[in-house]
Structures are given as structure tokens and as C-alpha cells.
Structure 1
Amino acid sequence: MDQRKKNRMVSNRESARRSRLRKQKHLDELKTQLSQLRMENNQVMATISVTMQHYTNVEAENLVLRAQVTELSRRLDSLNQIESIMSQPVDSGWGGTEFVDEFMGNSLSCVYANLPILAASDMIPY
């Protein structure tokens, strides 16, 4: 009976040792996985940050382009008005001074005719 008890104790100790080794191995694997996931998370966060910066830059550029479209549309309207006035026949009642007065009185013609487009990305507050 003593021999059976001894054998059983030895077997139990060996089983407990193997169980501890399995638990330790599993814990080590989880720590490795945690480390890998943290690195991957950092990479994803860096990618998101770069993407957000690109988005912000594109959004600023889009605002500048919209301002330029507005400016160019105003200029085009002004030029179309000038072209319309210039294409009218001379005998339509337009005298020399009346044409100049009409042209100079048209704020779009005078103000926007020779101005550069001033919109830039640094003009837009964030």
C-alpha cells in the first residue's frame, strides 16, 4: 500500500508540474500576443494620424478651391457683362460717356477686372 501511495504522490507531483508548465507557457503566449497587438495598435494609430493630416490638408485645399471658383465666377460674370455691352451696336443709344459711366458704375467690372485670386490655405482658421 505504501508503494502505491508513493507512486500516486509522484504521479500527482508530475501532473501538477506539467500543469504549471502549461499555464506558464499559455501566460507567455498571451504576453507575446499582447505585445504584438500593442505594436499593431500603435501602427494603426499612426496610420490614422497620417490619414487625418492628409484629410485636413485636402479639406483646406478644397476650401481654397471653392473660394477661387467663387472669385472666378464673379470675374466671368463681369467679363460677360463687359462683352455684352461691347457687342451692342453703336446706334443703340449708347453715347461715349454713357458707355464709360455704365462700365465704371459696374462694381464687378472695376473691382474684379485686374485683381489676383487671393485665396490660400493659410487664410482658413481651424
Structure 2
Amino acid sequence: MSSTAAAADDRKRKRMISNRESARRSRMRRQKLIGDLIAEKAALEGSIGEANQKLSGAWGRYSALKAENERLRAEKERLAEYAANLNEVLATYGEIEVGGDGVPDFSADQAGFQNPWSDYFGVRSSSAQLVTDCF
């Protein structure tokens, strides 16, 4: 072999070694990138799982609050109807005196009502007197 042929073979061999090293570095970079992507995928799946748990908890709280809100609305309607009925009764029997605490005073004969503790002839017994004195 001539020196030019030996030099060409030497260059060819060096280029082949360089190409192999470059391919090896390329494979290593690709493997590192794949490893990084796998780790990132696992981290993202973990954060998705946490977000799903938070969403599930928030949905449960929303459902509970919605049910409580519906129950309270129904109770509000029921109480409003009850208050309207009471107001109608009070308007019908407007002569009944209402005390400062908002409770009707039935201690005296008002609006044609009779005292339940008086007997038929209007004579009170001593026990009936004691009971009415307590109120």
C-alpha cells in the first residue's frame, strides 16, 4: 500500500470511528430524552390524578350544597305559606291583642272567646285561678 492509500484508509477508519461515536452520542441523547419524557408523563399523570380528586371533592360539596339549598328553599316556601296563613287568621280575628313579644294575649275575653279556665256560670275555682295566675 502506498502512503496515500494508507492515509486514506486511516482517514476512513477515523471517520468510521467518529461516526460510530456520533451515533452512540445520538442514541444516548435519544435515550435521555425518552427517559425525561417518561418522567414528565408520570409527573403529569400524578397531577391529573390530584386534580381529579380535588374535582371529585368539589363536585361532592357542590352536590351537598345544592341539595341543602333546595331543602332550605322548600322550607322557606313552607314557612312563608305558614306565615301567610297566620296573618290571615290574625286579620280575621283582628280584635285579638298581641303583646310586645308578638304572642296573642288570650288571658281576657277578647273577640268573643271565652276563658277556658272559667266554668259555665263564670265562677272560677281556686285551682283554675292558680293556673291562670301562672300565665
Structure-2-length-normalised TM-score: 0.65
Give the corresponding residue for 2:12. Answer: 12
Name which structure has the greater RCO, CA cutoff 8 Å, separation 6+: 1
Give the corresponding residue for 2:97. Answer: none
**Secondary structure of 2:53 counterpart:** helix
Q: Which structure has the larger Rg?
A: 2
Identity of aligned residues (%): 12
- In structure 2, C-alpha distance between the alignment counterparts of 1:15 and 1:81, rounded to whole Å: 96
Question: 1:7 Cα deviation (Å)?
Answer: 0.8
1:1-126 superposed matches below 5 A: 2-88=2-88, 89-91=91-93
Structure 1 residue runs of 5 or longer lacking an equivalent are: 93-126
- In structure 1, C-alpha distance between the alignment counterparts of 2:48 and 2:68, rounded to whole Å: 30
Of stretches 82-91 and 31-40 in structure 1, the one that deviates more from structure 2 is: 82-91
Give the corresponding residue for 1:122. Answer: none
Structure 2 residue runs of 5 or longer lacking an equivalent are: 95-135
Structure-1-length-normalised TM-score: 0.69
- In structure 1, C-alpha distance between the alignment counterparts of 2:34 and 2:42, rounded to whole Å: 12
Question: 1:90 Cα deviation (Å)?
Answer: 2.9
- In structure 2, C-alpha distance between the alignment counterparts of 1:66 and 1:79, rounded to whole Å: 20
- In structure 1, C-alpha distance between the alignment counterparts of 2:61 and 2:4, rounded to whole Å: 84
Count of paired positions? 92
- In structure 2, C-alpha distance between the alignment counterparts of 1:69 and 1:14, rounded to whole Å: 80
| Poorly superposed stretches of 4+, deviation over 4 Å | none
- In structure 2, C-alpha distance between the alignment counterparts of 1:74 and 1:10, rounded to whole Å: 94
Report the residue type matching 2:27 in the other structure: L
**Secondary structure of 2:93 counterpart:** helix
Q: Which has the higher helix share?
A: 1
Report the residue type matching 1:77 in the other structure: E
1:41-66 Cα deviation digits (max 9, x unpaired): 10000000000011111111111111
Of stretches 28-37 and 1-10 in structure 1, the one that deviates more from structure 2 is: 1-10
Question: 1:91 Cα deviation (Å)?
Answer: 3.5
Q: RMSD of aligned C-alpha atoms?
A: 1.4
